[in-house]
Structure 1
């Protein structure tokens, strides 16, 4: 029994010894092979590596399209060609780039408008010899200069105006090309000119063999099917802004990429951006002879498409109405004239159309479409906000449905006389809305501030009244974020001086300022029984398809979003709705609309 146990103990050390010996042999073979590769064959592998070159080209893909609410293409892509320069190394000599710019100048014409005087000075200095540069700054001055950059700045400053004036048109063309080439980064294509002509493309193609780093890139540019209609709000594309460079680089963009820089193009950059095609080429050569070449390509894809809430036919109709009305007004005494309009579905927040027209001051008027003014420019909206004032008075308890006030002039100390267009006498809330009574709104504002005009006016709650009115207005979207899907909008401006007279102006829309979109959201909130909807320009994101005129599968659908419900009862809201209806049938707008049905308005080209 004891002998059996001893024999079993000897089996384990024997097996371990065999395993250790096998591992030793394997490591020895591995070390021997590494020695052969590094010492014996190392030089040959270095030569092989030198004979192999790898280049990777990233080809931009077209951006996604934009469709209107009925599937009509509004923003498309057109193919164009760009000439690019790829700097193979950060250490590339500036003189080499300049010489390449000289050769390229003979083949293309470029825009020179962005050339600055500093660019010209740098260009002149670049062409000067070392001796000529030394003559610009004395030895004594150079001794006092601490840094190379300071020395360079001094040399630039010493370039004479005469030398700048002597630059020829050809010099400026070369400078413009050189400027774009030098802005690029190592191993990254830098566009020198977009949209080269067919003749330029042929000339460059014929001379590519002597233009190292120069290439022709298939590009795309935006095409607007409806011309300038809604053009501003579609947005623009361009080079990455300097202040956003780090942001885009961290998200996988190249420095030379073009991105959305404003409005919808910027807001939906992540959606519209296409997936680049990547082409990797590995070449093994012996001297100037290519021995082997392999190309690996990853297919790119156009960006996803947007379906907008906008009806482009209605948009054009609204633009035409606004422009015609501005022309009918003629050269009135008003210097800066503008008109804006937003058509919004109160139930969903869909922006159906949004147009603007601006006619600036001056003898020579340069009128133009200004659609973005609907979200960037704020105005005193006047009597159009009185429905919010009435609801505010109801909620504050200073008025109620059927409450009457005497419409007559209001005279406050140190304040100009306040009155309506005419003295209406006693009138209730509905009639006040129908005739646009100022005094009815003044009475509610004064009562909220602790003033029972004319006998007991103490203004015990003036600041509180301001706060209460502005809070109430903000529930409708007046002076608040609208929530529209655009990157930059205005929220309007609150007046600064909280005196009694200004409170009365606030109640009739002649103190704080609001945008046209805020006004549309406010009136839509009342029409939607007190529910404030988030305005939206994009309703869906869809996959790109190759078949023209067809929409791809839905990737994301944006449902209508309720931002808030105003703090007013249904009774109050219904009462104000009656008053607004009365404006059209019996009040200030009845002369134009009283005898017309909804269908007639649409047929005659009136906004829906």
Structure 2
């Protein structure tokens, strides 16, 4: 009997394993086959549909609901904010025709009331063509016949209509409802595809907003939301310097279109147009929302999804102290109006008596500009400009401190003396003879105001105190390698000396950019001095080139801080926007040292002492006064500075530009100031505008040193007029 064969356990296990592997392989094969069929189905059957969806979905950045950053003063007082307001928006879908837009405009005009005052004649004419063909046919019978017969084109027909039909005819045809529809349509028709535009944001009423919201399903492309506009808590104060923002209707200004388009902006973006809004656009603009639109074959929007929320702009903090700014504006207005009144009273008296040899035209006295800054870091604390218009009303002229330049007179003599030191023309304490300078021929005579006819030995310190023209001119002669002898002819080639002198003035910021972070800074006029030696001498006393109040302030600050010319700046910090208070500090601005004026300690001390004497010294031995003594000697703590008077012409009449510059306190200056009164009456003694500088320092001491308030200087014609008559 044969023995039955039995499989070993190992063999059985192997067979089971192979069976399982075969099953698994079959399943995998079937799954792969199913996947292949599915992929093929998606690619071949559904491929076109999905491709279309991809093509019809696009990301678009929009600027809706992205407020600009706010602007604050150095102490956190809001200068420029955003006022929110209700708005009606329209988003044009792809391939949307003008006719389709008109259909929406007709519906929307039932819910909102537009301003129709500024609708153009052409827009009314186009509306007439499209909406009132019967009326057009009546008016244009001859042309309609020619059009119907094919003798003229539709374009020619329209051109003739544009020529014939005027506003009067249109007013007889178009109703108020028609005009309202036109106004809506005009705002909508120029919209770019998938870019929301504002249809109405001014004076949207609660009823309008609610009515549109309730009818959104029937208003294709229409949506509601919030818009914003700039608001100014301090009204017109510094408004011109703070700058303007374009409106939602204006978008990118034409004059800045290329500039902004090159930086990735859209045509309907709202941007900074002038001054600080323009200068710090990258800080204030915010980040636009990013939206994904999905459209159907016709281009209609099926859905939209916000991929990235918009972010408001960062906040800009300025160096300006708005409290000081407002106080100085009031002081400037007081002095300007008081001086004008006194000029009117003086002119009226002289019309009766004929006692004066001076032509006084009060209307020419119409401007004052002043700057106050921290001399150590370039912070502009206040920038004030005021003018009297043709009606005698005060208007703001703050940007005049930046954009207007004048011959400023003796205020720049500290820079002239410094240039003399640096070129080894004089040494600290060196004595020169102040005397009338008589030149040959028609080159005339030049002299100092305090000394018209004698020889006076003075050093550099006293030359600053009494404002010696001759001392400065002799420095200029040394720069041009010649010295004075009575009756001499001035050399014609003074090019080398002129370059040395202008370079010396430039190192203080006179005649060059101050580095201010504002556009449109005027650097002044520097006319050619070749073969013009007389004007070269005048340059040394501030009677030739022109400078701004900002430049004078930087010049005085450079001396006050020991020789560092620090770039001026309006921006102090950038912080993230935070409704609950100051945001996170993102950036701070410190004054950059643009150059350093090289002084020896003795030279710098001599300039400081000369400026101190200008404001504080009466030399009893000679009975000579500092040119600013009257106004400034009672200040406590003491201040120092320099005054200036430049002869000029205004409309052919002799006038004087008066300037007052200084720093305080004298020992440790933390403020510097510059005041310019252009076109003052050409009189001896001069109209006393220097008291404005005194009142500026007093106000600074009141706000920063907690001193008791002091009254502004009060001008008195009865006191001043006798001085004019007798020339005291």
Give the TM-score, by structure 2 length. Answer: 0.68
Q: Which residue of 2 aligns with 1:588?
A: 627
Is contact 2:125–2:165 with CA below 8 Å preserved after alignment?
no
Deviations 1:48-76 (A, max 9, x none): 959x9889784332222222222233322
- The CA distance in 2 between the partners of 1:196 and 1:322, in whole Å, is 38
Distance 2:164 2:526 in 1: 50
- 1:189 correspondence with 2:196: yes
Cα RMSD, aligned residues only: 4.1
Deviation, 1:79, is 1.2
Q: Is the 8 A contact 1:122 1:156 kept in 2?
A: no
Given candidates 420, 429, 436, the residue that maps to 2:448 is: 420
Which of the residues 376, 395, 401 maps onto 1:374?
Answer: 401
SS in 2 for 1:459: coil
CA distance in 1, matches of 2:144, 2:421: 79
**Would you say 1:468 and 2:500 are equivalent positions?**
yes
* Alignment partner, residue 549 of structure 2: 516
Structure 2 partner of 1:274: 286
Establish whether residue 160 from structure 1 lines up as the match of residue 163 from structure 2. yes
Alpha-carbon shift at residue 204 of structure 1 (Å): 3.8
Contact 2:439 2:487 in 1 (8 A): no
Partner of 1:503: 536
Q: Is the contact made by 1:121 and 1:156 (CA closer than 8 Å) also made in structure 2? A: no
- Residue 213 of structure 1 is matched in structure 2 by 221
Q: Give CA deviations for 1:546-588 in whole Å, capped at 9, x if unaligned.
A: 31xx212221222332110024433222211111111110211
Q: Do the aligned residues in 1 keep the contact of 2:529 with 2:536 (CA within 8 Å)?
A: no
Higher mean displacement: 568-577 or 380-389:
568-577
**1:554 paired to 2:572:** no
1:400-422 CA-partner distances (Å, limit 9, x unpaired)? 32322323254454345433334
Deviation at 1:321, TM superposition (A): 0.9
Question: Could you tell me whether the CA contact under 8 Å between 1:63 and 1:303 is conserved in 2?
Answer: yes
Q: 1:440 to 1:340 in 2, by over 3 A?
A: same
Once the two structures are overlaid, the 10-residue window that deviates more, 584-593 or 72-81, is 72-81
SS at the partner of 1:514?
coil
The whole-number CA distance in structure 2 between the counterparts of 1:137 and 1:584 is: 90
**Deviating more after overlay: 174-183 vs 481-490:** 174-183
Quote the Cα distance in structure 2 between the aligned partners of 1:538 and 1:297.
34
Deviation at 1:325, TM superposition (A): 0.9
Instruction: Provide the residue aligned with 1:310 in structure 2.
Output: 320
1:226 is the counterpart of 2:234: yes
- 1:159 is paired with a residue of what secondary structure? helix
The Cα shift of 1:351 comes to 0.9
Q: Please give the residue correspondences for 1:472-491 in structure 2 after superposition, counting only pairs within 5 Å.
A: 472-491=504-523
Q: Distance in 2 between matches of 1:235 and 1:521?
A: 23
8 Å contact 1:409–1:420 — kept in the other structure? no
2:571 is the counterpart of 1:538: yes
- CA deviations 1:579-607 (Å, max 9, x no partner) are 11111102111112112203982234699
Question: Corresponding residue for 2:377?
Answer: 348
Q: Give, in whole Å, the separation in 2 of the partners of 1:126 and 1:471.
A: 70
Cα displacement (A) at 1:523: 0.8
Distance in 1 between the 2:603 and 2:584 partners?
Answer: 44
Deviations 1:319-359 (A, max 9, x none): 11111111112264243621111111111111111111122
Alpha-carbon spacing, 1:596–1:336, altered in 2? closer, same or farther (3 Å): closer
Residue 460 of structure 2 is aligned to residue 448 of structure 1: no
Deviation of residue 369 (structure 1)?
0.9
3-state DSSP of counterpart to 2:282:
helix
Q: 1:606 to 1:418 in 2, by over 3 A?
A: farther
SS at match of 2:499: helix
1:559-578 paired onto structure 2 within 5 Å: 559-578=590-609
Give the conservation status (yes or no) of the 8 Å contact 1:430–1:579. yes
Q: Distance in 1 between matches of 2:284 and 2:126?
A: 38
Alpha-carbon distance change, 108 to 502 in structure 1, aligned in 2, over 3 angstroms: farther
Query: Would you say the 8 A contact 2:370–2:384 is kept in 1?
Result: yes
Find the counterpart in structure 1 of residue 76 from structure 2: 71
Greater C-alpha Rg? 2
TM (norm. structure 1) is: 0.80
Q: Does residue 1:258 correspond to 2:270, yes or no?
A: yes
For 2:285 and 2:268, locate their aligned partners in 1 and report how far apart those are by CA, in whole Å. Answer: 14
The answer to whether the 8 Å contact 1:378/1:515 transfers is yes
Aligned equivalent of 1:93, options 97, 110, 124: 97
User: 1:218 Cα shift?
Assistant: 0.8
Cα gap change, 1:343 to 1:42, in 2 (>3 Å)? closer
CA distance in 1, matches of 2:510, 2:244: 28
Q: Is the 8 A contact 2:146 2:152 kept in 1?
A: no
The 8 Å contact of residues 544 and 552 in structure 1, kept in 2 or not, is answered as yes
Partners of 2:238 and 2:436 lie apart in 1 by 45
**How far, CA to CA, are the matches of 1:126 and 1:366 in structure 2?**
51
Moved more, 475-484 or 270-279: 270-279
- Of 317, 320, 331 in structure 2, the residue corresponding to residue 321 of structure 1 is 331
Moved more, 240-249 or 219-228: 240-249
SS in 2 for 1:392: helix
Shift in CA distance, 157/386, structure 1 to aligned 2, threshold 3 Å:
farther
1:180 and 2:187 are equivalent in the alignment: yes
